[in-house]
Structure 1
Amino acid sequence: MELDARKAKLVREILTEVNNIELLEKISKYLHKHLQQTMNRPCQFTVEELEQVLEQSQEDIKKGNISTHEDMVKEVFSKFR
């Protein structure tokens, strides 16, 4: 089934089968969350942008602006506990 036909089928199912505002809100939230995640995919950098990030990282290392792996793990666990 091609994309337009699947979209139409989904819309028909929602219009005929969803008779509950809570379910409709859940569907809407899920759709918006999914669309937002796909729009903000990682690794969408140009080569030039990646080179700039690498240069900045190397400068930070030279200046001593670094954290150990252990420090980073502690910070992450403290935020998500």
Structure 2
Amino acid sequence: MARKYELITDLYYQTINEVSENADSWKSFLKTAGRNFRLRFDEQILIYAQRPDAIAVLEIEKWNNRFGRWVNKGAKGIGNKSF
């Protein structure tokens, strides 16, 4: 568990550094963040690191219960992509 925390933390700080290096990176991040504006900043950074093209990010329970959408068996979430 500690190893996973370290990987996430490293990914977070690496992405923060990349996003803050130049205006184009920052604009790209803001485009992703704007599509997922209800999430906290740290969540937005981690989503951007893994899927900069993510459009609508929600917990699986919200997709299932609120929208009646079902995830395919064996599909992996954004958080499972790198870890």
TM-score, normalised via structure 2 length: 0.32
Q: Based on CA coordinates, which of the two structures has the bigger radius of gyration? A: 1
Greater helix content: 1
TM-score, normalised via structure 1 length: 0.32
- Comparing both chains, which one has the higher relative contact order based on Cα–Cα distances under 8 Å and sequence gaps of 6 or more? 2
